Structure 1
Amino acid sequence: MFEYFEKNYAWNLTGITLIEEVGVMSQPAEAFALAAPHQDAAPEVASIAWHDAMVELGARIEGFAEADAAAGNRLTASRKFNRAAMFFIRAERITSHEDPRQMIAYKRALANYRKARENADDGVEFVSIPYENAVIPALLIKAPDIAGEPAPIVIHIQGFDSIKETQWPMFQEYRRRGLSILITDQPGAGEALRVHKLHARWDTEVYVKVIVDWIMARKDIATEAIGLQGISMGGYFAPRAAAFEKRIRAVACWGALFEMPALWARRLEGGDVAGTHPSVANPLKHAFWSFGLDNVEELKEFISHMTLAGVVEELECPLLVTHGENDRQVPLSHAEETIKRATMPDKTLKVFTKSEGGAEHCQIDNRAIAADYVSDWFAKRLRV
């Protein structure tokens, strides 16, 4: 994996995705150079430096996008609005949710992202799925009907710290294979957490059932061929949901997570996770926020439920687990144990190697190679 920063894994993680998302190296490199002197500073100092560098570039590109939009250059404006959105998203990712600058950057990201989609006219529908007293926000991208019937659809759910806006247009590979995709910010993630105050839950089948009900109620997408995929911590969320929501016809873990208690044991005692690297500046604070908890004891109780032991055995649909051989956040053993315990005949473990690319956490070093593999797998199981 390309690692610009010698001393900050979280910055490298978000930095490499930013390069992919904006499609050029020069602008991210300019922001990296501004932030680099502070990479090993105290977290609160480092996060401010990162935030300011990202916002500076985002604001500049936003201005160029507005000028193109005013001149009627809609496609050019779309690309620039999208790049601006990615800089604002990467600014808010490293910034603490307790810092008001995080929400300011996030709202600018949403505004620019929406303008990008509207100017591109690329078939992205912004949808809101009623849930409890709020909504689950999502992006719906429909594939053409097949023989007069709606195409199969894959539901995507986030992990610990991912958000939906970073995943389109990457997920266009699904539509190219005749699959619609619904990219959600489920409770505990993205807009559901930041705007609607919906916190994560370990019994993920509760909100997945609501999402499936919503799909079946829309005649333009209603289909019995429904897939479910989860990325990163979604490697627990997705198979957990599919084990109990039997309308899911195929499930994929884009990065495995077999059990949380063992993975987080040292972190909960004030240390780091053995053999792993934190993906955000302060994982404990992020967990309290995402899960809606106040202290370590509550967190221990919450994650005690987050194991696939006795759960993955209940899965009946086909299962795919992908993992990187050099994943520094979740050991490969989580993928191996998930597959070992699964009892259905159609189960696949794909380990991405350093030689082929995609060897890091959730193939962050080459997300395109994973998008190809996972969408191919779903197409073979849902388009039958």
Structure 2
Amino acid sequence: MTRTPEATMTTSSPATRPFFTDPDFDFEFRCALGDTANGVGDPGMWLATAARIADGDRSSWFTAWTNRAGQLAELAASLADDAASAWAWLAGSAAYSRALGAVDGLPSDLADAVLIPTFRAGRRAWDAMIDRSRGRHVRVDVPADGPPMPGYLLRPAAEGAARPTLVITNGSDGALPALWSAAGAGALARGWNAFVYDGPGQQSMLFEHGTAFRPDWEAVLTPVVDALVARPDVDASALLAYGISQAGYWLPRALAFEHRFRAAVADPGVVDVSASWMANLPPEMVQLLDTGQKDLFNRYLAEAEPDPDAERTFAFRARPYRIEDPFDLFTEVRRYQLRDVADRIRTPLLITDPEGERFWPGQSDELAALLTAPHEVVRFTAADGADLHCQPLARALTQARVFEWLSAHLDGAAGGYRPASSATTDANASAPASPTTK
């Protein structure tokens, strides 16, 4: 579940009424509803799930979403039609992912007991969706230092020529179904491939292998590109990239060193990941960090007045870095900044800027100011219901703007994009559709 320290939140209210008073619940539920625009579940189903949740009660949230996920898994397994079954598996995977977000709010012994099983249930549902895709979607693991990174190449058809491919990088705690909704479905609808994966510190790499985040994402993205360009179903001259949430840092960081993409999107732009961490520290604590006074910093932090919500948020945010010492953790997070490398980016970059950005307000414009590469900032507003971090209730509008821009750069580069073959694809095979999808 996405959390942010209160000090980093903007004061503007969303134009739409809240679904929950708990800010984490409200944001996550907005994300769930927004995902339905791209075929992930149904609005009515998610609203019925929300009706079973006691506002602010993590156990209630976890139970409601796991129950819904189990029902969807049973439905998916009972359906003979591949497209219908794939839709149900995708929805079930998303529901398990929503449940997983509340684990940190459960009693510690219960949280430890359910985290891995809940993650694995969601990943099994995702894999079942892949298996019911009639060969369109395939697993592509990426070699890495240590365990390979699990990846999935989502294709509009099982056969055909090499296609443009959109590489989608997740944020700090997102699951694969979120990437389907964020940009994967949009790529497939346009006859492109989409590639999604777990990098260090993300989902399976964190839960199954204990890998930590790393600031030098070029060490992650370049092996991904190497694996893709070696495939006959990927047009190496037509690679595009998209990064959502904290990947608004990771993707631009990688682009400073990896130059094989025609165009890229940061949703939103993130210059300094640590801004949301540092905002809650008083100036005296910041000075202790700056002057390397580790013992004093840790002592003052330990003596702070207990705040269960803040402690839960801190533990959740700290886990993917896998650093126990608070001073060392804050010091590490401060390395995640683009000011030293942004001028090396050559790839044209679109940067989203939603009204009411909660995590990194103002950083989209800050990133734009640092760039020497061609770039554009696209605004999203509360008046259109497209406010808040990553525009959760306006994913279709976001994709309309994002893919218009990506398509223009794909067509406009090097005399225009010309596919390797005129082979056609099955337009109706672009998504694991519900029976009502056209």
TM-score by length of 1: 0.86
Aligned with 1:339 (options 347, 355, 368)? 368
Q: Is 2:127 the counterpart of 1:127? A: no
Question: RMSD in angstroms over aligned alpha carbons?
Answer: 2.7
SS in 1 for 2:66: helix
Secondary structure class of the residue paired with 2:256: helix
Going from structure 1 to structure 2, the CA distance change for 1:154 and 1:119 (only over 3 Å counts) comes to: closer
- Which structure 2 segments of 5+ residues have no match? 1-15, 283-299, 302-308, 417-438
C-alpha displacement of 1:55? 1.1
Give the 3-state SS of the residue equivalent to 1:260 in structure 2: coil
AA at the equivalent of 1:11:
F
Shift of 1:368: 1.8
- Counterpart in the other structure of 1:175: 188
Q: 1:179 to 1:76 in 2, by over 3 A?
A: closer
CA distance 1:152–1:193, change in 2 (3 Å):
same
Deviation at 1:16, TM superposition (A): 2.0
Q: Distance in 2 between matches of 1:266 and 1:119?
A: 46
Answer whether contact 2:217 2:251 (CA < 8 A) is retained. yes
The answer as to 2:342 corresponding to 1:312 is yes
Where does residue 58 of structure 1 map in the other structure? 69
Q: Find the counterpart in structure 1 of residue 277 from structure 2.
A: 264
Relative to structure 1, the CA distance from residue 196 to residue 218 in structure 2 (aligned partners, 3 Å threshold; closer, same or farther) is farther
The answer to whether the aligner puts 1:358 opposite 2:372 as a matched pair is no
| Cross-structure match for 2:83 | 75
CA deviation after TM superposition for structure 1 residue 203, in Å: 0.9
The separation in 1 between residues aligned to 2:185 and 2:135, in whole angstroms, is 10
- When residues 280 and 129 of structure 1 are mapped into structure 2, their CA distance, relative to the original with a 3 A threshold, is farther
Of 211-220 and 165-174, the range deviating more from structure 2: 165-174
Partner of 2:228: 215
For the 8 Å contact 1:177–1:376, the answer to whether it is kept is: no
Runs of 4+ in 1 over 6 A off after TM superposition: none
Which of the pair has more CA radius of gyration?
A: 2
Flag the 1:281–1:229 CA change in 2: closer, same or farther, 3 A. farther
Q: 2:261 aligns with which of 242, 248, 266?
A: 248
Which structure's relative contact order is higher, taking Cα pairs within 8 Å and 6+ residues apart?
A: 2
User: Residue 379 in 1 paired to residue 414 in 2?
Assistant: no
Give percent identity, aligned residues only: 21
Counterpart Cα distance in 1 of 2:63 and 2:32: 15
Displacement of 1:351: 0.9
- Equivalent residue for 2:327, pick from 297, 301, 304: 297
Does the Cα contact within 8 Å between 1:78 and 1:120 map onto a contact in 2? yes
* Aligned mates of 2:84, 2:310 — CA distance in 1: 32
Shift of 1:268: 5.5
CA shift for structure 1 position 198: 2.3
Distance in 2 between residues matched to 1:283 and 1:370, nearest whole Å: 28
Q: Is the 8 A contact 1:326 1:359 kept in 2?
A: yes
Aligned partner of 2:166 in structure 1 is: 154
Q: Deviations over 1:278-310 (max 9, x none)?
A: x99933222322122113212211122111112
Cα 1:13–1:280, aligned 2, differ >3 Å: closer, same or farther? farther
AA matched with 1:369: L
Higher mean displacement: 105-114 or 279-288: 279-288
- Deviation, 1:73, is 3.6
The number of residue pairs the alignment matches comes to 363
1:114 Cα deviation (Å)?
Answer: 2.2
Q: Name the CA shift for 1:371/1:185 in 2 (closer, same or farther; >3 Å).
A: farther
The residue number in structure 2 matching 1:93 is 101
Residue 245 (structure 1) shift: 1.4
Taking structure 2 as the reference length, what is the TM-score of the superposition?
0.76
Compute the displacement of 1:122 (Å).
7.2
8 Å CA contact 2:86, 2:132 repeated in 1: yes
Partner Cα distance (2:121, 2:42) in 1: 21
In structure 2, the partner of 1:18 is 32
| Alignment match, 1:165 | 177
* Paired residue secondary structure (1:82): helix
Contact 1:78 1:119 in 2 (8 A): yes
